[in-house]
Amino acid sequence: MKLHVSAMVPLTIRELLRIGGPTQEHFDRARVIGQDIAERGDMLLFRSKKKGETAEMMNELVEGLAILAFCPGGFTFMGLTFDAQSMRSRLEETRL
């Protein structure tokens, strides 16, 4: 899971940066994702018997973490730090 999160969250952050950052709808979606993970997050640890359900939960986790990265100072999850503002600065530096 850590490898997947470390690869996919930055890609999702980049997608959000490309559209100018998360909208209010994204933040509303993050609340729903948090509730889903609280209710069914065990599927991230124990594969669901229903095809595609675990992958769907992992996609929700990645989306939620990417949105959360836009909070001031970012956050750390599983020892991985995600900070969209820092990432934005690094991307702008590489474009110069």
Average pLDDT over residues 29-46: 93
41/93 Cα distance (integer angstroms): 37
* 3 state DSSP class of 76: strand
pTM value is 0.89
3-state secondary structure of 67: helix
Residue 73 has pLDDT above 90, yes or no: yes
For 43-50, what is the mean pLDDT? 87
Phi-psi region of 86 (alpha: psi -120 to 50; beta: other; left: phi over 0): alpha
